[in-house]
Amino acid sequence: MESTQKRKFNIREIREDFPALRQTVYGKNLIYFDNGATSQKPQFVIDAINRYYSKENANIHRGVHHLSQKATNEYEASRKTIAAYLNAKKDHEIIFTKGTTDSINLVANSFGALLKAGDEIIISAMEHHSNIVPWQMLCERVGCVLRVIPINKKGELIFEEYEKLLNEKTKLVSVTHISNTLGTINPVKKIIASAHNVGAKVLIDGAQSIQHKKIDVQALDCDFYVFSGHKVFGPTGIGILYGKEELLNKMPPYQGGGDMIAKVTFEKTTYNELPFKFEAGTPHIAGAICLGRAIEYLNQFNIEDIEQHELALADYAQDLLLTFEGLHIIGESKNKTSVVSFVVDGVHPFDLGTLLDKQGIAVRTGHHCTQPLMDFYKIPGTVRASFAFYNTKEEIDIFIKAFEKALGMLK
């Protein structure tokens, strides 16, 4: 599938690549608007998973036999594919993890081992729990201080307040590139530059951006960038930590075991080189290989075409939703991705989501693992429709009719 010739953006052909979209739910054609939680998988990736377990299954890095060497080659080729997609300087700056949460925890434990009491960590008010709790745990363990960048009612970071938080004690800034609840696209390049001015390192949570935008870690100059495979049309249980080589070399390993060692005696263990220092034990080999396949699939298209299509969907859906009395959009930043979160006066999000499901429409309801954000808006949760490049305006039209019917039953 590797080619310099980009594939024409044809929505009908794209939808044919995703078998899960061709099913019915409660007798209705499935409309899948829960892409912020996880994406569907193209047949290209599904076939790769089947092929690995049917013909290539073996443990890696340890065997001289044919299957082991083949699996190792595929695993490391995937690392190269992902490094190239992110424009990492070195392949070994790509660490395979279980997902975004695991990647953040790795940094919190390994980079966190370099911190001391009184050091400060900055996050934002719109973070997912996975980019809050690991830092709270680190602060409790080491005595670091957690600072929070406030947001305005539109769901935008107040940049001036962020700059006030930065000082010589700031050691790490960890922020989401795109809010999973609000759809806000944060000015991460500007955030990174300001942090570097005081000598702080920066982690970017890319779980909601890797599938929507072109990511160039060298251009961003981020110190860490993390994402999950399942949100970018790949398998669950696999993720990526990108880290700058110099920084990763300074960090102690997060876990001990096989493959992360150079030599073991009962007196002392010396650790392996990058990236293996951070990949203890047998990894999710199929997941890593097939995440590379998912990136290959995505790389067929111009990412700008994907972004434009998804933004058009979000604008279309939001305009139609705003015609309903008592409906409020949560997250009104000028710079947004294809997420529409909303609440309706007097209607619980769970009830709406349940009635939409009965009409074959999958949306997410609840706090979306951003409870502090819900507290800020003084709401219990939202209904969230999150779009991928395989969604259509026709699906949105059906969604709006279903939404109107559900409202009629609840009011």
Q: Rounded to an integer, what distance in angstroms lies between the CA atom of residue 361 and that of residue 353?
A: 8
* DSSP H or E segment with residue 263: strand 261-264
Number of other CB atoms surrounding residue 158 within 10 Å: 14
* C-beta separation of 292 from 339 below 8 A: no
- Contact residues for 347 (Cβ-Cβ < 8 A; gap 6+): 407, 410, 411
What Rg, from alpha-carbon coordinates, does the chain have? 22
**407, two tokens:** 């409202």
Bridge partners, residue 257, by sequence: none
SS (H, E, C) 52-108: HHHHHCCCCCCCCCHHHHHHHHHHHHHHHHHHHHHCCCCHHHEEEECCHHHHHHHHH
- Contact residues for 54 (Cβ-Cβ < 8 A; gap 6+): none
* C-beta separation of 19 from 31 below 8 A: no
* C-beta separation of 96 from 79 below 8 A: yes
| Neighbour-count burial of 64, counting CB atoms closer than 10 A to its CB (0-12 exposed, 13-18 middle, 19+ buried) | exposed
* C-beta separation of 307 from 215 below 8 A: no
Q: Rounded to an integer, what distance in angstroms lies between the CA atom of residue 143 and that of residue 200?
A: 17
* C-beta separation of 307 from 183 below 8 A: no
369 is annotated as an active-site residue: yes
Q: Rounded to an integer, what distance in angstroms lies between the CA atom of residue 411 and that of residue 405?
A: 10
Instruction: Tell how far CA 361 is from the center of its chain.
Output: 23
CA distances from 182 to 4, 162, 314, 316, 360 (A): 35, 19, 12, 17, 24
Asked whether the bond before 283 is cis by omega within 30 degrees of 0, the reply is no
Selecting among 139, 144, 222, 369, the annotated active-site residue is 369
**63, two tokens:** 């065997």
Catalytic residues: 369
